[in-house]
Amino acid sequence: MKIFTLKSDLKKFLSVVKKDQKRIGFVPTMGALHQGHISLVEKAISENDITVVSIFVNPTQFDNQEDLEKYPNTLQQDIELLESVNCDVLFAPSVTEIYDENVVAEKFDFDGLEYEMEGKFRDGHFDGVGTIVKSLFEIITPDVAYFGKKDFQQLQIIKKMVEKLGLPIKIKGMPIFREEDGLAMSSRNARLTKEYREAGPFIHKILKKARKKIHSKDVEEIIAWVEKQFKKHPLLELEYFIIADEKTLQSATKFESGKTYRAFIAVFAGEIRLIDNVRFKNN
Ligand code: PAF
């Protein structure tokens, strides 16, 4: 695997790849790679001639300094994992290489998608995500880029950005990878204490139970039921549970037949914030 830390070196390498009319697949990450990331990398490898993975913990998308400072860094292990699946290229730049001395996010208009859920609870988060993904797209110029559906709102926002900027990049959303006990895979899981790690699967369990209620309960009743389950839980603290239209991400007030909804959740397991989502289909 070729490893680049400088934009100029990576661009030079990719210009030859492009001249040969090879397809570039791209998987952006913040490292601390797990099986969910690897599934994206394997998909990219199977569909493209060259697969580029980036590892960059992007400061402008963190609204919480402590979360940024404690974000897990397992670079050596990540490199070994990427080599084991025959990834072609790793781009692991420094903060200065990406931002120079100006570590600020650009302001984006994602047609309102940015004001829901994560946007409400994490100030400026999606401007930060938009800034880094746009910049990585400019450097790498991929044909296809792969994103996990665990960050479903991020996926929709990136699709919107590509559409609005008219970029010739296909965005693919890939299924959520779960631990055997149902906890959605996340780099932040590595920071959970044993007690919180054991409590984690409760989140997906509740989402699955909530989904079963779609035919017998209305939106408000399901939300109230979920909130009650978390109030009773001794460790996990619910930040939000929302049922939203899958396309617009607007909160639903009632289920309309033929529409597809998704339930989105954010939960604090001590200091660690976990998110998850499941699809709700109303027919
Ligand atoms: O999903 C992530 O890991 C990050 O938000 C991303 C897309 C790599 C941008 O920093």
| DSSP tag of 213 | G
Three-class SS of residue 212? helix
Residues 213 and 263 in one domain: yes
Parent domain of 12? 2-174
- For residue 283, what pLDDT is reported? 65
- For residue 257, what pLDDT is reported? 87
In tens digits, the chain (283 residues) has pLDDT values of 999 999 999 999 999 999 999 999 999 999 999 999 999 999 999 999 999 999 999 999 999 999 999 999 999 999 999 999 999 999 999 999 999 999 999 999 999 999 999 999 999 999 999 999 999 999 999 999 999 999 999 999 999 999 999 999 999 999 999 999 999 999 999 999 999 999 999 999 999 999 999 989 999 999 999 999 999 999 999 999 999 999 899 999 999 988 899 999 999 999 999 999 999 987 6
- Note whether residue 221 is domain-resident: yes
Final residue of a domain: which of 143, 174, 205?
Answer: 174
Strands 260-269 and 236-245: antiparallel
- Measured by CA distance, the residue closest to atom 3 of ligand 1 is 29
For 176-212, the DSSP string reads PPB-TTSPBP-GGGGG--HHHHHHTTHHHHHHHHHHH
Residue 254, number of CB atoms within 10 A of its CB: 9
CA of 147 to the centre of ligand 1 (A): 8
132 Cβ inside 6 Å of ligand 1: yes
Residues 103 and 24 in one domain: yes
32 Cβ inside 6 Å of ligand 1: no
Residues 164 and 43 in one domain: yes
Please identify which of the residues 34, 37, 125, 204 carries the catalytic annotation. Answer: 37
Residues 193 and 157 in one domain: no
Residues 193 and 214 in one domain: yes
Residues 208 and 253 in one domain: yes
Distance CA 122, CA 16 (A): 40
Known catalytic membership, residue 37: yes
Bridge partners of residue 96, in order along the sequence: none
CATH number of residue 10's parent domain: 3.40.50.620
Residues 212 and 110 in one domain: no
